[in-house]
Amino acid sequence: MKKITFIGAGSFDFTRELVRDLLTFPAFRDARICLMDIDEERLAFSRSACEKIKLAGGYPARIEATTDRRRALEGADGVVITILSAGPEIFRKDIEIPFQYGVDLCVGDTRGPAGIFRFLRTAPVLLEICRDIERYCPDAYVLNYTNPMALNCRYLQEMTKVKVTGLCHSVQHTAKMLADWIHTPMDRVSYLCAGINHQAFYLKFEVDGRDAYPMIREAVGCPQVYKEEQVRNELFLHLDYYPTESSGHNSEYYPWFRKRKDLLETYCTHSTGWNPGAHAYILNEYFRRANEWKKDIQDWLVKDQVDLERGQEYAACIFNALFGDQEPYTFNGNVRNEQYITNLPDGCCVEVPVTVDAKGFHVQTVGNLPDHLTMLIHTAAGSEELAVKGCIQGDRRLVYYAVLGDPLTSAVLSMEETRRMVDDMFMANETYLPQFAGMIK
């Protein structure tokens, strides 16, 4: 009986869907699924959902729930991390403080001022979790879903010995979207995608071994398709390679879409996938979810039908390759760069193809990215490196440098304005940043 532990199991959607996926594999039908969260109410809901899936599928799996992290981790073969550090009120500050200075963010969970401070809050919690993994299940494979993905993985790969990689669904979901646009089933599609999390590009996208980019370019020329992902389609038309992650996210990673009201109106108000014309959208949506989560879960629990079909997330397939049926599997993972992408900094966190089997992870060497893509990605990776160093060393000056290099921030603010904004964000986050004790005021 294999034991798979979910830390942050109160993340209802992720937990429910990943447990469903796991139980579709013969090797995990009788698995021991251990759910851990500090929120007892959310944890109870997640356990009820998993029990419902188990019953619907007739699986002999064992579902456990606990608030005790040690108990959850002892003897685990695999660990999934889906935590959220701190609550919606501090997340509001991540968005509202930059907005007061003129930096209009959309999502704020990846990089830039909001993403960096989310990372600084999350890093100490993740480190505690991984210290417990080193203590209670040192051979376990760890899959992280917690954002900001690249920053968190880079930090953990530097600070711990755990076998961790980070997973995001943007690569496979975008590939499916592109295949749908050119009316092609996924079993005829192959691709090579590489870069950093949320800023990776399809270096190749092929149908039956032939370049499909001409078909994608033709599809994007259709007004309906163009408007479906306007920011990403603009990036593709100008850069010649299609980016991963939604238009809403991409709009805040570059200096071209959110620095002026007319640009927000043109590119970000009507068709970014999030419809975020202004920062208020994501705050309203975030607080709506925070207020309505219980009703959403209760509605799902009373449904008669349970979808038992495996989804597109990587986690279950990875665990199956490692210690289940051991069928090799290839995915895009977040790993420390060891010349996998030769023109990005050594050691930074890159998102590249990884094949996994019973012997572990085998990372594919991509080589050089196209120079113009490297120019853009290198800036983001450099900012992340500074943020991680600042976190490890407790050096707020390095954090300032990291934010200073953010393309959207630098398109809007002066250096002095950026410094003041960072100071304000440190003050707002003081309670959550023990690594900067004594350096904030």
State the amino acid at position 299 in one-letter form: D
Q: What is the pLDDT of residues 205-252, one digit of tens each?
A: 999 999 999 999 999 999 999 999 999 999 999 999 999 999 989 999
- Is 279 a known ligand-binding residue? no
The predicted structure's pLDDT at residue 269: 82
- pLDDT over 90 at 411, yes or no: yes
- pLDDT over 60 at 277, yes or no: no
What is the pLDDT averaged over residues 385-400?
97
Q: What is the pLDDT of residues 64-89, one digit of tens each?
A: 999 999 999 999 999 999 998 887 78
- Is 362 a known ligand-binding residue? no
The predicted structure's pLDDT at residue 272: 59
- pLDDT over 70 at 192, yes or no: yes
The predicted structure's pLDDT at residue 280: 55
* Neighbouring-strand partners of residue 79: 5, 142
Q: 3-class DSSP state for residue 313?
A: coil
Dihedral sign computed on CA atoms, order 333, 337, 339, 345: positive
Residue 174 CA from chain centroid, whole number: 14
- pLDDT over 90 at 196, yes or no: yes
- pLDDT over 60 at 47, yes or no: yes
The predicted structure's pLDDT at residue 247: 92
Say which residues have a Cβ less than 8 Å from residue 296's Cβ, sequence separation at least 6: 12, 289
What is the pLDDT averaged over residues 127-141?
98
State the amino acid at position 371 in one-letter form: D
The predicted structure's pLDDT at residue 308: 94
What is the pLDDT averaged over residues 20-47?
96
User: Distances from the Cα of 162 to the Cαs of 3, 137, 143, 158, 384, in angstroms?
Assistant: 17, 9, 10, 10, 21
Q: State how far the Cα of 322 lies from the Cα of 317, in Å rounded to an integer.
A: 9
- pLDDT over 80 at 148, yes or no: yes
- pLDDT over 90 at 305, yes or no: no
The predicted structure's pLDDT at residue 89: 82
The predicted structure's pLDDT at residue 440: 58
Catalytic: which of 169, 173, 183, 238? 169
The predicted structure's pLDDT at residue 124: 96
- pLDDT over 70 at 34, yes or no: yes
- Where are the domains positioned within the chain? 3-168+301-323, 171-278
- pLDDT over 80 at 33, yes or no: yes
Known active-site residue 169 = yes
User: Which runs of E-coded beta strand occur in 58-166?
Assistant: 62-66, 78-81, 141-144, 163-166
Assigned architecture for domain 3-168+301-323: 3-Layer(aba) Sandwich (3.40)
Higher pLDDT, 416 or 298: 416
Q: What is the pLDDT of residues 338-348, one digit of tens each?
A: 999 999 999 99
- Is 183 a known ligand-binding residue? no
Of all residues in the chain, the percent with pLDDT exceeding 90 is 84
Q: State how far the Cα of 156 lies from the Cα of 95, in Å rounded to an integer.
A: 25
In contact, 70 and 36? CB cutoff 8 Å: no
Predicted TM-score of the model (pTM): 0.95
- pLDDT over 90 at 378, yes or no: yes
Cis peptide before 148 (omega within 30 of 0): yes
Buried/exposed 198-224: b ≥16 CB within 10 Å, e otherwise: bbbbbbebebeeeebbebbeebbeeee
Q: State how far the Cα of 225 lies from the Cα of 398, in Å rounded to an integer.
A: 41
Mean pLDDT, the chain, whole residue set: 93
The predicted structure's pLDDT at residue 311: 92
